[in-house]
Structure 1
């Protein structure tokens, strides 16, 4: 009887049997897989979010207009492989940030904290903040690499890095260890909000879909539907912080490591609002959804399915 229940266990029941250390590997792997598919959208989103930063000073034209036109513009300027700029740094970021994030969230689940009112939101936010801090240097380099292009298509400051290791060496040499955490003040709130929205809404949406009994309980389509619902909440909550984070990470700094354009999260948000209007905080919304939406859907789907496999393997082992 106990074995039958174990074999039947799916969803939240199977998830609870996965140790946090295993969740670290599964979460990182799931998000890295999603990153391979969504990185081109991240490149386009980064360019659109930086556009307007220096244009207000009459420095550059506006070469990116609309999502599909921007994809074509990136491909013409940098070649088709240019749509995968910063992929290595993106994979490093996804592995570090989401490994820590899912590990901490799994610990909270194991301790029963997510069963408390609002527990999934708090656990998701705290886990996201820790993951964002650990992964911040990789996100910094990813953003700067993705912003780089030929002069005619350049938006934002151009750092002219050649490789991930070269970027690490340059930043370390010029700004010291703390320079690798430039922009972390914008990244932590961004990931906190996104993580809380993602994990809380995915858990709730998946449970709601299962309750409706539209799909077989053990089907991967349940996780897919939950991820689709979650993706909308993530994009709406995260995009303003994502725009600010992109600007903070890409801005030039002085010899003391201070940003030359923005003094921090609040200063950046206020300047964007005043100089470019409130809707500028949702710049790149279409590619932001086309990137964050599929990334949320794929990462949640891969994570859920990998957890099921790990849970079943553990049950068979016992």
Structure 2
């Protein structure tokens, strides 16, 4: 085993271990990610006629029974998490919950490896610059900035795999709803080849701006919160040291914060990536944001928040417990 004293070997080990831990966490929680994507896409699936009928029904309900009835009429048109899950299993089978798993796991190899390693490096740089001890907590602005930069950098590399994952998930939904006869892609490699052939290499980075923005916000809430929460837990001594209880408590905090700050950007990213480039629904990130807000309200921007939070909690717990234990076993110490 390479010595952790060798910076290059230690960095390579951290990249490999973070990718392994992320793959385990991604596989364990992927069905919730698929349901989140379906919920985020369903708001734009209404045809113009259906949307007009929905607005008319809501207006009539408002006139007859007030704003509460109108809200109920709008809510009835949007199935919830349980209904979407049952629909997927009924129409696509249990394995339909894992459509797009391969590119999702592939995405985390560069994404999580780069973001975690970059955050550690930026944290160390900030500590040296500020003259603080390696174990001391970072000032909040420095921690937030480190998480923001690390997340954006990791996602920039991982956008193609993220794009393929979203499109394969969207294809499964379109086929199940009878909107398409068959998926556009036979598999992950076919998806990469097809997109590159028809749209060029830049096509693999379609939707990269909201994707990078979303990842930056996720890691602003995730990495910086986990780092700060873990150090606070260790200082309190409530868990008795740097152990699984400390990692679990810190991951719960980071998962919630990441969900709150990132869901609107995640909705925009998903819709821009899933749309047909030949007949785009949205002109860009700002248009998608404003159109969603105007048509669906704030609720539309937080479509999929429940499965996002429900997934990020277990994902964070699985990842950080696995990653911290793998680091210790490799002699690299805690995060």
If the TM-score is normalised by the length of the shorter chain, which range does it land in? 0.7 to 0.9
Q: 1:59 to 1:251 in 2, by over 3 A?
A: farther
Tell me if 1:140 matches 2:160: no
Instruction: Give the distance between the partners of 2:176 and 2:95, measured in 1 at CA.
Output: 18
Instruction: Give the distance between the partners of 2:186 and 2:276, measured in 1 at CA.
Output: 17
Tell me if 1:28 matches 2:19: yes
| Rg larger in structure | 2
CA shift for structure 1 position 300: 2.2
Q: Which runs of 5+ in 2 are unaligned?
A: 1-6, 55-75, 131-137
**TM-score, normalising length: structure 1:** 0.85
SS in 2 for 1:160: coil
1:1-318 to 2 correspondence within 5 Å? Answer: 19-55=10-46, 57-58=48-49, 65-113=79-127, 117=139, 118-149=141-172, 151=175, 153=177, 160-254=184-278, 260-311=280-331
Residue number in structure 2 paired with 1:13:
none
Instruction: Count the aligned residue pairs.
Output: 295
Q: Which runs of 5+ in 1 are unaligned?
A: 1-15
Residue number in structure 2 paired with 1:4:
none
Q: Contact 1:128 / 1:191 at 8 angstroms: preserved in 2? A: yes
**TM-score, normalising length: structure 2:** 0.81
After superposing the two structures, state which structure 1 stretch, 285-294 or 299-308, moved more: 299-308
Instruction: Give the distance between the partners of 1:264 and 1:93, measured in 2 at CA.
Output: 23
Q: Contact 1:56 / 1:275 at 8 angstroms: preserved in 2? A: no
SS in 2 for 1:162: coil
Q: Contact 2:33 / 2:307 at 8 angstroms: preserved in 1? A: yes
Q: Contact 1:244 / 1:268 at 8 angstroms: preserved in 2? A: yes
After superposing the two structures, state which structure 1 stretch, 204-213 or 93-102, moved more: 204-213
Q: 1:193 to 1:101 in 2, by over 3 A?
A: same
